[in-house]
């Protein structure tokens, strides 16, 4: 099956710093990737839809200037949490669909656990 | 905004008992998917339902899509400890091609051996 990787798997940063999270589709091309945030024992909240070669589409309530998304190639999307604060601590997960295979399932990355101190 | 409600939030069962989680929406859904997330893991796709009244089975798992395409259920027969995890429904609200999904709150299943 299709594989999506994320890096780093966990990161601890100080308040006020920025953190970049990478999401890669390893064996397929993903023109669209999705970024989710999941707080402990809660559901996945869609943050934004990342589109290769164009601007990301953010969900209502998600600050686009705080969560910068760059989809520079067909296999890589990055999420940068700028000026991170403790309330940004969460589990960030990306997903992608393998459109070329006509597959409708979303393949999730293993997630990145961000802790802001 | 659009919401997909999922109940119950938690379910503890004895191994061998059945388990059901329900997903409801106030609006008609284009399709619905089910995912399983093991503790500490990421969601893994289980199935997609598209047609009104559709029923699909995967071994001990039975998935149903309501006639009005506003609700869905996942039923596990004779649970095993390997069934432990959180089950999410994820709905596609529109028939466009974005692939955007709205996740339910999830039902966490605990199975006592």
pLDDT for A1: 67
Average pLDDT over chain A, rounded to whole? Answer: 92
pLDDT for A111: 95
- Given a contact cutoff of 8 angstroms between Cβ atoms, the answer to whether B32 and B90 are in contact is yes
The answer to whether residue A5 neighbours chain B at the CB level (below 8 Å) is no
Residues from chain A contacting residue B105 (CB–CB below 8 Å)? 42-43
Say if the Cβ atoms of A93 and B42 lie within 8 Å: yes
pLDDT category, B1, cuts 50, 70, 90?
low
In residues, how long is chain A? 117
pLDDT for B70: 95
Kindly state the average pLDDT of the residues A68-80: 93
pLDDT for A52: 86
pLDDT for A114: 97
**Model confidence pLDDT, tens digit, residues A16-38:** 999 999 999 998 888 889 999 99
Q: Residue B27: which residues within 8 A CB-CB, separation 6 or more?
A: B2, B70, B93
- Given a contact cutoff of 8 angstroms between Cβ atoms, the answer to whether B25 and B71 are in contact is yes
pLDDT for B71: 96
Say if the Cβ atoms of A45 and B103 lie within 8 Å: yes
Residues from chain B contacting residue A105 (CB–CB below 8 Å)? 33, 45, 48
Q: What is the dihedral of CA B16, B20, B21, B25, to 10 degrees?
A: 170
- Given a contact cutoff of 8 angstroms between Cβ atoms, the answer to whether A68 and A19 are in contact is no
**Model confidence pLDDT, tens digit, residues B46-61:** 999 999 999 999 999 9
Of B1, B42, B100, the CB nearest to A49: B100
SS3 state of residue B22: strand
- Hey, of B99, B103, B106, which one would you mutate to test binding to chain A, going by the most A CBs within 10 A of its CB? B99
Percent of chain B at pLDDT > 70 equals: 93
pLDDT category, B87, cuts 50, 70, 90?
very high
pLDDT for B36 beyond 70: yes
Considering only alpha carbons, which residue of chain B is nearest residue A39?
A: B105
């Amino acid at each position: 099956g299709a594989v999506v990787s994320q890096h780093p798997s966990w990161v601890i940063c100080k308040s006020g710093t920025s953190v970049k999270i990478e999401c890669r589709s390893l064996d397929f091309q993903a023109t669209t990737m999705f970024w989710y945030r999941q707080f402990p024992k809660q559901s996945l909240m869609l943050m934004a839809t990342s589109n290769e070669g164009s601007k990301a589409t953010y969900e209502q309530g998600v600050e686009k200037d705080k969560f910068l998304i760059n989809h520079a190639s067909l296999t890589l999307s990055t999420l940068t949490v700028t000026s991170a604060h403790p309330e940004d601590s969460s589990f960030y997960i990306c997903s992608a669909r393998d459109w070329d295979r006509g597959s409708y399932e979303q393949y999730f990355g293993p997630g990145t656990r961000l802790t802001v101190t | 905004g659009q919401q997909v409600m999922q109940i119950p939030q938690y379910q503890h069962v004895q191994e061998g008992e059945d388990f059901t989680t329900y997903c409801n929406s106030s609006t008609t859904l284009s399709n619905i998917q089910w995912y399983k997330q093991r503790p500490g893991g990421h969601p893994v796709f289980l199935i997609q339902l598209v047609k009104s009244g559709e029923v699909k089975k995967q071994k001990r798992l039975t998935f149903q899509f309501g006639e009005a395409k506003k609700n869905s259920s996942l039923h596990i027969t004779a649970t095993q400890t390997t069934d432990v995890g959180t089950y999410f429904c994820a709905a596609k609200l529109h028939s466009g091609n974005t692939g955007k999904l709205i996740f339910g709150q999830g039902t966490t299943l605990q199975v006592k051996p």
